[in-house]
Amino acid sequence: MSHKVKDATIPTIPFKARFSRWFGRNLLRIYMIFGFTYLFIPVAYTFAFSFNDSGKSNLIWKGFTLRNWQNPCGAPEVCSALGNSIKIGLLATTFATILGTMIAFAIGRYAFKGRSSSNLLIFLPMATPEVVLGASLLSLFLVFKINPGFWPTVIAHVMFCISFVVVTVKARIASLDPRLEQAAMDLYANELETFRRVTLPLVAPGIAGAALLAFSLSFDDFIITNFNSGTLMTFPKFVYVSAARGIPAQANVIGSSMFFLALILVIAGQVVNRKKVR
């Protein structure tokens, strides 16, 4: 007796349904690719045009050259402007980190009258538009007959960097386990030794991150600097003034170098953190 077996047919999934499944599974990856592409296109442009044989104008690609990297100070005033930005950034970072860390410890660890108001006031420089903050500081300096220049710019940068330092360090302080400090005191360590040997090493990554953030904000600032620097030329002001005729390739060299330096620092920090975790 013979049996006829019907061929089993596998149902075909429509292309639209397959595409929808694939798109749903890879939506996050697609978003990440578009996001990073959007962020890094200006960086790629800056890096590419640092090799442009531009001459006086750097708006059109004219040929590949290494001369700009061999002589990054070839454009007039570019290195002096860079030096001013680095000096202002380092001074502002130092003062803002010290003052901001002390404020963060005071707000994060101690209860005192006016704590809530102080917490609110810390966020005001972050929420205030830079045009308003820069113009207000300039008016204040002029009232006290202080001419715009190097030190007024440093003071202005310290004022708006402190808020970012306080917020960053305070978040690190809030994540600390108070039992570690209590254990140190149970082992007969006084308050100073506990702070130096336990608290400070635990908060140090937050302080370092706040300092890097403060320096990047200070180095990159244009609006507040433009109000309070007077005739002092900083790197952002140099780029702004040069933009009309094409930013010199040497400025692109410096910008690319700062980007890769920041990238190296971030990668090094991640490597150190992973080693500590292991």
pLDDT single digits (tens) 40-89: 898 898 899 889 887 777 778 888 888 889 888 888 888 999 999 999 99
Residues 81 and 65 in one domain: no
Residue-wise pLDDT tens digits, 202-240: 898 889 989 999 999 999 999 999 999 989 999 999 988
274 assigned to some structural domain: no
The token duo for 17 is: 């349904």
96-111 CB burial, b ≥16 within 10 A, e <16: bbeebbebbbebbeee
CATH number of the domain that residue 185 is part of: 1.10.3720.10
pLDDT per residue over 130-151, tens digit each? Answer: 999 999 999 999 999 999 999 9
Whether residues 135 and 49 fall in one domain: no
Residues 106 and 165 in one domain: yes
Residue 185 has pLDDT above 90, yes or no: no
Q: Are residues 97 and 145 in the same domain?
A: yes
For 131, the domain range is 76-247
Burial class for 43, CB neighbours closer than 10 Å (0-12, 13-18, 19+):
middle
What integer pLDDT is reported at residue 162 of this predicted model? 93
> Is residue 270 included in any domain, yes or no?
no
Looking at the structure of the chain, the number of domains it has is 2
User: Residue 44 and residue 12: Cα distance in Å, rounded?
Assistant: 44
Residue 180 sits in the same domain as residue 121: yes
Percentage above 70 pLDDT, the chain: 95
Asked whether residue 43 falls in the same domain as residue 144, the answer is no
Same domain? 35 vs 142? no
Distance, in Å, from the CA atom of 100 to the CA atom of 233, rounded to the nearest integer, reads 27
pLDDT band at residue 111, thresholds of 50, 70 and 90?
confident
Please tell me whether residues 114 and 219 are part of one structural domain: yes
Asked if residue 9 belongs to a domain, the reply is no
Domain assignment present for 252: no
Together in a domain, 146 and 239: yes
Interval 178-188 mean pLDDT: 77
Q: Is residue 259 part of a domain?
A: no
101 and 53: one domain?
no
C-alpha distance from residue 93 to each of 135, 162, 165 (Å):
22, 9, 9
Residues 44 and 174 in one domain: no
Question: Which of 65-86 are b and which e, b meaning 16 or more Cβ less than 10 Å from the residue's Cβ?
Answer: eeebeeebeebebbbebbebbb
